Amino acid sequence: MPKATAVRAKTKGKGRPRIPPPPVIRDEVRIERIDDRSTPVRGSSTRPPKRATRSKRDRPTIDVADVDFGDVPAATATKLGQRLVQAAAAFEAERFTQAERLLDSIDRLAPGVPELYELRALTRYRLGRWMKAIADLQRFYDLTGSVEQHPVWADCCRALRRWSRAEELWRELGDASPSAELVEEGRIVQAGGLADRGRLDEAIQLLERAPKPGRRPGIHHLRRWYALGDLYERTGDLAHSRRVFGDVLTVEPDFGDVAERVASLG
């Protein structure tokens, strides 16, 4: 879910459990200024409690530099490139409505740009516009065949209680096995969906069966442990919850609100 803290999705679903929030996998947007100097846009570092986050080293990027806008005139392509950079900057500054408006204007002039659909899907996801986010994620997948945003897609389905589709996306992600980090994000979403339906034991088993980390756990492992500790607490198994949260605290003391969670369990 640091710098300890990476940019995370803000969800607006009602009645969502306290399991860590859904992921945004490629939530850093890399841009280049018009003078061709690389200018990464970084996210903010402050998050509310109960947010488990990832470090910068674990965050891939959406590259909005040198995007192909198709058959539009060169001058128009240049303007659209500048507008896409502005949208990326608005996204990173959490001005999501502005980012969506800019992306909509690009789509009207140059439809069929994968980077646009990916970024707009994440923007709409953060705005809680699940149906529109799903439409963009479908377009992104149709154009690229990439499963990199399947966890986000699955969580949109989770918010809409489309359990069968969310599980299909989880299976597709597992079959593709794009990276341990991505699969872990999908696993957390899948566990959250099970928990939403009161299937806490199954959610715990899903997280417990995940591959064990090596000598140095990654942030994705800590996110899974945090989710697992939360589920144990919800079942009333405070001993296991304390142990799992303690493991997170040992590896990364500043991870989300884990110190508070451990203290609250005595």
| pTM (global) more than 0.95 | no
For residue 119, tell me if it sits in a domain.
yes
Q: Are 54 and 1 in contact (CB under 8 A)?
A: yes
The tens place of each residue's pLDDT in the chain, 266 residues long, gives 222 222 233 333 333 333 444 443 344 454 433 223 222 222 222 222 233 333 333 334 678 888 999 999 999 999 999 999 999 999 999 999 999 999 999 999 999 999 999 999 999 999 999 999 999 999 999 999 999 999 999 999 999 999 999 999 999 999 999 999 999 999 999 999 999 999 999 999 999 999 999 888 999 999 999 999 999 999 999 999 999 999 999 999 999 899 999 999 98
For residue 265, tell me if it sits in a domain.
no
Between CA 214 and CA 26 the distance in angstroms is: 24
Structural domain boundaries enclosing 138: 28-260
Which 3 state secondary structure label does DSSP give 162?
coil
For residue 11, tell me if it sits in a domain.
no
CATH code of the domain in which 184 resides: 1.25.40.10
For residue 8, tell me if it sits in a domain.
no
Between CA 257 and CA 22 the distance in angstroms is: 16
For residue 126, tell me if it sits in a domain.
yes
For residue 23, tell me if it sits in a domain.
no
For residue 16, tell me if it sits in a domain.
no
Between CA 143 and CA 111 the distance in angstroms is: 11
For residue 10, tell me if it sits in a domain.
no
- Nearest alpha carbon to residue 170 among 63, 8, 21, 22: 22
The interaxial angle of helices 219-235 and 238-251, nearest 10 deg, is 160
**Domain count for the chain:** 1
